[in-house]
Structure 1
Amino acid sequence: MTLTQELMQKIGTAVELGQNGERQAAREQLEVLWRDAGENAFARCTVAHYLADVQETTENELEWDLRALQAADELTDDQVDGLKVEALSPSLHLNLADDYRRLSRAAEAQQHLDLARGRLGVLADDAYGDLIRGAVDRVEVALEAGSVEPLPTNPSSRG
């Protein structure tokens, strides 16, 4: 099963709400989409990934990022609309590294940062790849500095 155009539009609408500061409305819409995703692991992964960004606490963000990774672990390449499953991994592990860093769980943050960095080679040399590579570097610098503050580039700190 792949994500339908309609589902992607609904996710996009909810994400836009969150980016415009309407985090509660975004969260409510994404929670409905989470329930509707059923057994579709790609839908669950995508919705959980964006749901993490509109949580009020880092603990809740971590919970949704873990759900996104768990759903990604169930995926095969034929389920992700022409993408390679492995291309999801750097971003998912990066999010977990940043969550753990902000929760002062440095060892777990480092573990996921290492996993993210080790998988950067699967990303294309494009704007998305550059975005993820840059974010890995920023999280690494923050972790090394012992910072637990949200980074201004983190989607969950906007809005």
Structure 2
Amino acid sequence: MNDQMALDPTMTRVIEAVRLGQTGDTAEARELLTALWDELGPTGDALHRCTVAHHLADLQDTLDAELSWDERALVAVSELTDERVRRHLPSLEVRALLPSLHLNLADCHRRLGNAGPAREHLARSRDHLDQLPDDPYGEMIRTAVRDFDADDPTDHRGR
């Protein structure tokens, strides 16, 4: 955990919940993040809402629920400013969040059999690839976008 996160108790709670989910306790992780979402409310900090919704999408039992959370993350990111994200991570820009958020939406739409919206979100993801950092995370997203097949609903390589 970096110093910025230590100063942000909400992000610390998000990270703790995400770790629970990664160890297999998805129900508890989902419960913690849902409670945090409820605390934040519709006018809460946009970075927090975007982060919570992004991670909640991965913890859903249905594709419709996953899509709903992915859409909430995209709405929240539209309310973010570079100034706000830089308070969390000085090198971060809002546009750097968009490739992953759109890729998640493309993947969800693909799995739902919605090839048109999947292609649309994939194109939006590609539009922002130049904003990704030159690090393992950035390379992971670039590779996923390159390998994505919007017309194949059985292909689950997104994210």
- Relative to the length of structure 2, the TM-score reads 0.87
Partner of 1:138: 147
SS in 1 for 2:148: helix
Q: Which runs of 5+ in 2 are unaligned?
A: none
Identify the structure with bigger relative contact order (alpha carbons < 8 Å, sequence gap 6+): 1
In structure 2, what is the Cα distance between the partners aligned to 1:8 and 1:130?
Answer: 24
Percent identity of paired positions between Structure 1 and Structure 2: 47
From 16, 19, 36, the equivalent of 1:33 is 36
Displaced runs of 4 or more, over 4 A: none
In structure 2, what is the Cα distance between the partners aligned to 1:147 and 1:123?
Answer: 26
Alpha-carbon RMSD: 1.7
In structure 2, what is the Cα distance between the partners aligned to 1:35 and 1:77?
Answer: 25
Is 1:69 aligned to 2:89, yes or no? no
On the 8 A contact 1:103/1:148 being kept in 2, the answer is no
On the 8 A contact 2:53/2:69 being kept in 1, the answer is yes
From 90, 100, 103, the equivalent of 1:94 is 103
Q: Which runs of 5+ in 1 are unaligned?
A: 155-159
On the 8 A contact 2:112/2:153 being kept in 1, the answer is no
Partner of 1:7: 10
Letter of the structure 2 residue corresponding to residue 136 of structure 1: V
Partner of 1:46: 51
CA apart distance, 1:77: 0.8
Is 1:127 aligned to 2:136, yes or no? yes
On the 8 A contact 1:97/1:109 being kept in 2, the answer is yes
SS in 2 for 1:147: coil
In structure 2, what is the Cα distance between the partners aligned to 1:69 and 1:147?
Answer: 22
In structure 1, what is the Cα distance between the partners aligned to 2:12 and 2:32?
Answer: 12
